[in-house]
Amino acid sequence: MYKKYSPKENLAFIIVASENSIFKEFNVLIKQLETLLEKNKNTDEILDKIDNELITKIKNYWQLEKSQVIAYGYLVFNQFKVSKEKMTAENITTAYIYQMRLYSPDNAVEFVQRNFNVDLKKIYKE
């Protein structure tokens, strides 16, 4: 059985990946997100690392595959790359909510595959 992630867990992984990265460069952040997903099978530990107030802002109840979690990471980290805004947990939460409004999980994967030339479904087979 494949691991599914909630949007709240997805947010937590993105925030922790950012906090664990000394260099806030796009490729470093994506690699950190991938590493966290591989090493942390117990998502409660990741959720415990972020402010509960941020988690409560997430209203979607989707079940996300690993490729979709990574896709949202691409979208959020790219938003900061383009905007040059400071990458704080609060700003990441706002950006993540914005990206979820723009892209459904499948659309996020399609957008990333098309615009970043990455085959997420092949790389992140469940």
- pLDDT, tens only, 10-49: 999 999 999 988 888 899 999 999 999 988 877 888 899 9
- The DSSP bridge partners found for residue 27 are none
State the average pLDDT over residues 75-94: 94
